[in-house]
């Protein structure tokens, strides 16, 4: 049985010129992809869908969904973006203030797209066992993660963006996943190292020191922290 990859917030895959045609999780998928694997990409911004399809044109068993992940049962959801973030609008978010923080003084535009709750989406793709999940949802990463039914869905590896989380949110994230049986295992799949990686495995040393220290140290010290974990 093949591996299952789920990418929430796929952008333009590895075809966005503004980030040097790189996407860490897309690269990880392509590097580790086998014939029987399945890939499910979710991207809210319709501007990115054709590029995303082009990114995976040589890969089978890839499904791309132009959907917004919602925190409720709404059928439609509004997203905000700034024109100066063109052509692929990396900072598209359901939170207007999130876009304004990155583009102060800019005109903020919006569009609406069909939406789905994360558990309904996982039910829709009929995958109870997921090998790799990447969450990059520009401002609602933690809320979406905590809304996943982790008792129903067996997710082995979770890569989640920490860049926009405040210290108390990082503390909440680490504590929450530790209680769910996950251990912090270093950088996630983002090529800029903006993600945490959690594995569904109880590594007690990792759980202890990540809960004690990881949430408040600065990002420039993560590599030393990760080295300490790996060495242990």
3-class DSSP string for 129-167: EEEEEEECCCCCHHHHHHHCCCCCCEEEEEEEECCCCCH
Number of H helices, E strands in the chain: 8, 10
d(CA 57, CA 170): 36
Question: Tell me, which fold does domain 4-161 have in CATH?
Answer: Rossmann fold (3.40.50)
β-pairing verdict for 4-8 and 129-135: parallel
Per-residue confidence (pLDDT) for residue 231, from 0 to 100: 56
d(CA 94, CA 204): 36
Query: Token pair of 193, please?
Result: 């190292």
Per-residue pLDDT of the chain (232 residues), as tens digits, is: 899 999 999 999 999 988 899 999 999 999 999 999 999 999 999 999 999 999 999 999 999 999 999 998 889 999 999 999 999 999 999 999 999 999 999 999 999 999 999 999 999 999 999 999 999 999 999 999 999 999 999 999 999 999 989 999 999 999 999 999 999 999 999 999 999 999 999 999 999 999 999 999 998 899 899 988 875 4
DSSP states along 82-106: EGGGTTTTTT-BS-HHHHHHHSTTS
Cut 0.85: pTM above it? yes
52 DSSP 8-state letter: H
d(CA 38, CA 30): 11
Domain ranges within the chain, ordered by starting residue: 4-161
Burial class, 131, CB count within 10 angstroms (exposed 0-12 / middle 13-18 / buried 19+): middle
């Amino acid at each position: 049985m093949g591996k299952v990859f789920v990418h929430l917030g796929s952008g333009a895959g590895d075809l966005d010129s503004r980030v040097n045609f790189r996407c860490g999780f897309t690269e990880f998928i392509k590097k580790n992809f086998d014939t029987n694997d399945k890939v499910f990409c979710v991207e809210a911004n319709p501007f990115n869908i054709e590029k995303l399809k082009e990114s995976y044109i040589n890969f089978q068993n890839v499904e791309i969904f132009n959907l917004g992940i919602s925190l409720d049962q709404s059928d439609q959801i509004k997203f905000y973006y700034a024109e100066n973030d063109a052509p692929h609008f990396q900072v598209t978010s359901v939170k207007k203030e999130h876009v304004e923080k990155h583009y102060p003084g800019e005109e903020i535009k919006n569009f609406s797209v069909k939406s789905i709750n994360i558990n309904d989406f996982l039910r829709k793709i009929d995958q109870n066992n997921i090998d790799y999940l990447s969450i990059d949802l520009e401002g609602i990463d933690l809320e979406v993660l905590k809304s996943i039914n982790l008792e129903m869905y067996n997710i082995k590896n979770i890569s989640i963006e920490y860049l926009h989380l405040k210290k108390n949110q990082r503390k909440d994230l680490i504590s929450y996943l530790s209680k769910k049986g996950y251990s912090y295992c270093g950088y996630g799949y983002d090529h800029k190292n903006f993600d945490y990686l959690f594995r569904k495995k109880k590594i007690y040393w990792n759980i202890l020191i990540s809960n004690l220290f990881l949430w408040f140290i600065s990002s420039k010290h993560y590599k030393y922290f990760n080295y300490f974990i790996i060495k242990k």
